[in-house]
Structure 1
Amino acid sequence: MKGGVIELGSSGAKNVAMVSRGVSVLDFFLRVIAIVATLASAISMATTHETLPFVTRFIRFRAKFNDLPSFTFFVAANSVVCAYLILSLALSIFHIVKSKAQGSRVVLMFLDTAMMALLTSGASAAAAIVYLAHKGNTKTNWFSICRQFNTFCDRISGALIGSFGGVVILVVLILLSATALARR
């Protein structure tokens, strides 16, 4: 200890570098998992449709994701976040190689926060519609459509789970980046 500053030996510096590299590897794998979650959510929602026959076979009721603007926004938000996560893999690999990089971590943390906000808003807007689809609203005479459109409701609910899983992973990524920056 010199003048109130604790000096790390070469083994202490190596330990800090190893922890930083481990955080970067975890960051990479979490990004891959988030890519899968957001991509699966976007594909699941975008391919969701169901048609029910009415009294005759010529009159049919259908439910498609693009009938509701909230679901269209959900697909767009998940797609944008998925594309961002794919592009951010390059910086994540850079952080594995150069564990002392700080400027790029700050940029990545800022962009992760923006993408988390976008994904949260898309998932929340869709969640409101999914709730109405499942429960309805008797005060406004909106009936639950999930009694008739079972497959449609199951798929949109599954898409929401994946999207909110992506939100949780982005929160963890932001915390990891903040922890890696605080260690310096």
Structure 2
Amino acid sequence: MTKNGEHYSTLEVEGESSRAREAKGKNPVMEVPLIGKDVGHDRDGGAGVKRGVSVIDFVVRLLALTAALAATIIMGTTDQTLPFFTQFFQFRARYYDLPTFTYFVVANAIVAAYLVLSMPFSIVTIVRPLVKAPRLILVIFDTIALTLTISAAAAAAAIVSLAHKGNTNTNWIAICQQFDNFCQRSSGAVVASFVTAVIFVLLVILSTVALKSH
């Protein structure tokens, strides 16, 4: 106690330690607004990515609609009559003469109608990119439409192949040498339908990626 210098130096050290503790206690309070700002930035960035995916989905959906309508119209207007005929027979080929082609036209027409009805849901995902329900609805019905499109295209492709090549084992002759226009149009319709199926695969992938990023 008699050494005043030592006494005062001890008080200074204690004062410094108190100030250090006060500074440490203030650090967590200062970090809170910075963390909140980063979270908001990430949220806005995620919404922007989802909106971009939704815009791509809408454009691709328009392409699918175009392909499905093309397949329906081409097959639905396929009709050819050969220039030669007999007194009792007229050689004519129409799509509704074959049940498989009829199913093809109906299936692609249903798919085209669905694509038109799905446009509002796709627009909703653009306006509100963080909403999950419209994307889930699109994934479910896009998968159903994909299945319908593939089944119709595959069945029609089998008939088109038979028309081009025939089948000697069952004595089915190839008719495309006579009905060349009929075969060309039906083949083009099948190709358009397969293009629609490929686009649907892309749509399902886009919607799944957007759902996964929620």
TM-score (norm 1): 0.92
Q: Which of residues 105, 108, 133 is equivalent to 2:138?
A: 108
Q: Which residues of 2 match residues 88-103 of structure 1 at below 5 A?
A: 88-103=118-133
156, 163, 180: which one aligns with 2:193: 163
Q: Please state whether the residue corresponding to 1:54 is helix, strand or coil.
A: strand
Listed as ranges, the matches of 1:1-184 within 5 Å are 8-54=38-84, 56=86, 59-184=89-214
Q: Distance in 1 between matches of 2:124 and 2:143?
A: 20
SS at match of 1:63: strand
Partner of 2:5: none
Select the structure of larger CA radius of gyration: 2
Deviations, residues 47-74 of structure 1 (Å, cap 9, x unaligned): 0010013354874200000000000000
Name structure 1 gaps, 5 residues minimum. Answer: 1-6
Cα deviation for residue 9 of structure 1 reads 3.7
User: Aligned equivalents of 1:150 and 1:100: distance in 2?
Assistant: 52
How high is the TM-score relative to the length of structure 2?
0.80
Count of residues in Structure 1 that have an aligned counterpart in Structure 2: 179
Question: Identity rate of aligned residues, in percent?
Answer: 50
Which amino acid counterpart does residue 68 of structure 1 have in structure 2? L
Contact 2:166 2:173 in 1 (8 A): yes
Matches of 1:71 and 1:97, distance apart in 2: 40
Cα root mean square deviation, aligned: 1.7
Q: Which has the higher contact order (CA 8 A, sep 6+)?
A: 1
CA distance change for structure 1 residues 96 and 54 in 2, over 3 Å: closer, same or farther? same
Q: What's the offset of the Cα at 1:104?
A: 1.7
What is the Cα deviation at residue 101 of structure 1?
1.1
The Cα of 1:15 is off from its aligned counterpart by 2.1
The structure where helix makes up a greater share of residues is 2
Query: What SS does the aligned partner of 1:50 have?
Result: strand
Listed as ranges, the gaps of 5+ residues in structure 2 are: 1-36
Structure 2 residue identity aligned to 1:73: Y
